[in-house]
């Protein structure tokens, strides 16, 4: 089944590439957000099944903060994407029950596997 995915990434070209990859894999992008506030607005407009979440967002805002809001308010979990996914960061994010951690650059086969795992865990079956 098709997943509804919110992209939270402040780098325009990376967000565009992720959107292309998600759509090619047969899923739907519900919105693209650059910071915590635009993440809240996009997720409130159309609730995603999951979010692809960068750790460092525009204006110095934090993907950790955005993911906590998504988790606590909407029960939406994330796949975290970053060039810096050390053990301390992973442990700090355990509270929001991440689906996966993907290092940048995101390769299509890695994203496909992560989305397929999310689909199964959400009970939507694998494409």
pLDDT digit string, tens, across residues 103-119: 888 999 999 999 999 99
Do the domain assignments include residue 126?
no
Entry pTM: 0.92
Give the residue-averaged pLDDT of 63-88: 90
Do the domain assignments include residue 127?
no
Question: Tokens 């890695």 appear where?
Answer: 110
Do the domain assignments include residue 98?
yes
* Residue 87 scores a pLDDT above 90: no
Residue 75 belongs to what domain range?
4-121
Q: Work out the mean pLDDT of the chain and round it to a whole number.
A: 92
Burial degree of 98 (CB within 10 A; 0-12, 13-18, 19+):
middle
- Residue range 4-53, pLDDT digits in tens: 999 999 999 999 999 999 999 999 999 999 999 999 999 999 999 999 99
């Amino acid at each position: 089944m098709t997943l509804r995915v919110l992209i939270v990434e402040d780098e325009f070209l990376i967000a565009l590439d992720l959107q292309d990859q998600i759509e090619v894999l047969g899923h739907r992008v519900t919105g693209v957000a650059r910071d915590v506030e635009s993440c809240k607005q996009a997720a409130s407009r159309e609730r995603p099944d999951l979010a692809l979440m960068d750790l460092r967002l525009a204006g110095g805002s934090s993907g950790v903060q955005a993911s906590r809001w998504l988790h606590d308010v909407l029960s939406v979990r994330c796949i975290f994407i970053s060039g810096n996914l050390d053990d301390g960061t992973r442990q700090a994010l355990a509270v929001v029950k991440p689906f996966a951690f993907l290092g940048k650059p995101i390769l299509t086969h890695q994203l496909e596997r992560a989305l397929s795992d999310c689909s199964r865990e959400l009970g939507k079956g694998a494409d």
